[in-house]
Amino acid sequence: MPGSIDSRYLIRVYNWTISSKIRVAAAGVILSIILLAAAIFLHPALFAVITLVILLLLGFTAYRIRNTGVALEYPGVDRFFQQVPCYLTIQDKDMRIIRTNEQFRVDFGDRRGELCYKAYKGIEDICPNCPVIKTFDDGKTHHTEETVVTKDGKMARMIVYTAPVTDETGKVVGVMEMSTNITQVKDLQDQLDAGRREYMELFERVPCYISILDPEMRITRANKLFRQVFGNNIGKLCHQVYHDRDTVCDDCHVVKTFKDGKIHNIEKTVIKPDGDEARLIVYSSPILDEKGQVVSVMEMATDITEVKRLQRELIYMGKTIAFMAHRIKNILMGLEGGIFVVNTGMEDKDDAMVNQGWNMIERNVKKVSQIVKDLLYCSKEREMNFQQIDPVSIVRNVYELYQGVAKKAGVGLRLSIPDKLPVGRFDPDALHSLLSNLIINAIDACVGDASERKDSHQIEIRAWCDKRCGYVFEIEDNGAGIPGIIGETIFDDFFSTKGREGTGLGLLVAHKVIEEHDGTITFRSSEGEGTIFKAVFPPCAEE
């Protein structure tokens, strides 16, 4: 087989033949003498056979030597072969390396005559997808990426190109392999890929909503949290997703960023797919192309619903403290005044004055007690004590309690309730407190009413129950009414006309009680005309 001749032998023979013409001539002479001797001493037939075999072997060897020579002397090889700053080798059909350049020998040693996969990788089998074989097969250039081991045992990543070495007839007699060490490039690429993956991971996992918008306000990308909460809305308009509407929001910060390329922020309320509202703080940041033009805008939103709630609570707490301080100062004044009046009465031996002072003290102690009670209702300290009761008795009790107070204030108090209502689930003390506070507010609203066109001030307490609405309690007065601007926050804030009896916490207490009963409280008011508060409790369960 042609391939059975070791190319190391061929290279050696080739180098030997081209290195000294005298040696070649001498070899020819020796061979001729041997043949002459054989012709003299051997049988002519045997001589003919031996001569034929020798000529065949010589012919075949000469053919292989010629191929090796063509490959080795490939036009132009010598000119650049050694200087090229990459690994250059030439392989013969047996995959043996027959020529190497300087760079290759520095990093891999002189591996001429060795199988290329052994020399490059130290393996025993031809590499899968070998470009050298492909080039031998089709005579074309091929390339691949390979990981090899240098002579000092280091791994190196290579990009390998192969080109055919042909003889004058165009036959592929060898393959030149050019390998470039791309270890550093690959390492950088790996780092780049790792960085890209890290950024993608960051983009995906950052605990806020991130979306990328194009100039048409379409969402082109969104992170995981955004997709989880608002759905996979890629391609949709952001105002559709956030606000379920077809027009761009007024004063849109994304539009501003597209216009001026700057970062803008805004606080806005959006509707989540589950129907809940969320308060978001949203930043829009430009994404620029290589010319510095804004091509898209990144919108980053953080849900601050809970923060806002806490902020409201803090404001509320601040107001509570300020309000309480004011209230307590007044009570202290009342107590100190009471003591002063008692002492003055005792000095003057005036029993009426002593009584007057004592009443002042009693009233203010009661106020302290009421404030503490109201504060307990507003806070979470008090557990509800639900019982199955007919609320009529509570309503009647509150009515009787405040009849005298109302009369003293010049206000008529009427009761319009049935004799009985179905038994329902109530906390009796809480219901009592709610109704008391609403009646106290109603009395204060009547006392503070400056209108001169009303003949008298009246309060009416109504209660009824139906299976659909549940229990309804209404307190209607024709007092001063509630100004519109106060009405907006009436249940979230202190509402006080600085009435004589109220603590200012009344509506907060009412709101708290109704919440605990899963009910609702609303009001209708007209400034100068009066107010109706309506507390609705859930209907009683069907028997």
Contact footprint for another protein (CB under 8 A): 322, 325-327, 329-330, 332-334, 336-338, 340-341, 344, 353, 356-357, 360, 363-364, 444, 447-448, 450, 480, 497-500
Report which secondary-structure segment, H or E, holds 173. strand 172-181
Q: Which residue lies nearer to another protein by CB, 367 or 517?
A: 367
C-beta separation of 486 from 469 below 8 A: no
Q: Which residue lies nearer to another protein by CB, 78 or 336?
A: 336
Question: How far is residue 168's CA from residue 90's CA, in Å, rounded to a whole number?
Answer: 18
Total Cβ atoms within 10 A of residue 40:
8
Q: Which residue lies nearer to another protein by CB, 341 or 513?
A: 341
Q: Which residue lies nearer to another protein by CB, 433 or 503?
A: 503
Q: Which residue lies nearer to another protein by CB, 195 or 483?
A: 483
Closest contact distance (angstroms) between CB of 450 and another protein is 5
Q: Which residue lies nearer to another protein by CB, 40 or 450?
A: 450
Give the total residue count for the chain: 543
Total Cβ atoms within 10 A of residue 478:
24
Instruction: Give DSSP secondary structure letters for 264-317.
Output: EEEEEEEE-TTS-EEEEEEEEEEEE-TTS-EEEEEEEEEE-HHHHHHHHHHHHH
C-beta separation of 483 from 497 below 8 A: no
Closest contact distance (angstroms) between CB of 510 and another protein is 21
| Three-class secondary structure of residue 237 per DSSP | strand
Q: Which residue lies nearer to another protein by CB, 8 or 363?
A: 363
Q: State the residue for tokens 């204030």.
A: 409
Closest contact distance (angstroms) between CB of 348 and another protein is 8
**The two three-digit tokens of residue 111, written as one number:** 């591996």
Q: Which residue lies nearer to another protein by CB, 31 or 333?
A: 333
Closest contact distance (angstroms) between CB of 332 and another protein is 4
* CB within 8 Å of 424: residues ≥ 6 apart: 388, 389, 390, 391, 465, 470, 471, 537, 539, 540
Give the residue among 295, 286, 248 at the shortest CA–CA distance from 268.
Answer: 248
Q: Which residue lies nearer to another protein by CB, 474 or 501?
A: 501
Closest contact distance (angstroms) between CB of 199 and another protein is 52
C-beta separation of 332 from 340 below 8 A: no
Q: State the residue for tokens 């009046």.
A: 341
Alpha helices in 247-350 (DSSP H): 253-260, 305-347
Alpha helices in 139-223 (DSSP H): 183-205
Closest contact distance (angstroms) between CB of 399 and another protein is 24
Instruction: Calculate the CA 327 to chain-centre distance.
Output: 47
Phi and psi torsions of 296, nearest 5°: -155, 170
Closest contact distance (angstroms) between CB of 360 and another protein is 5
Closest contact distance (angstroms) between CB of 407 and another protein is 16
Closest contact distance (angstroms) between CB of 356 and another protein is 6
Q: State the residue for tokens 């219901």.
A: 431
C-beta separation of 435 from 462 below 8 A: no
Closest contact distance (angstroms) between CB of 362 and another protein is 11
Question: How far is residue 134's CA from residue 175's CA, in Å, rounded to a whole number?
Answer: 10
Closest contact distance (angstroms) between CB of 433 and another protein is 23
Q: Which residue lies nearer to another protein by CB, 48 or 332?
A: 332
Q: Which residue lies nearer to another protein by CB, 276 or 351?
A: 351
C-beta separation of 163 from 135 below 8 A: yes
Using the CB atoms, write b or e for 400-416: b if 16+ within 10 Å.
eebeeebeebebebeee
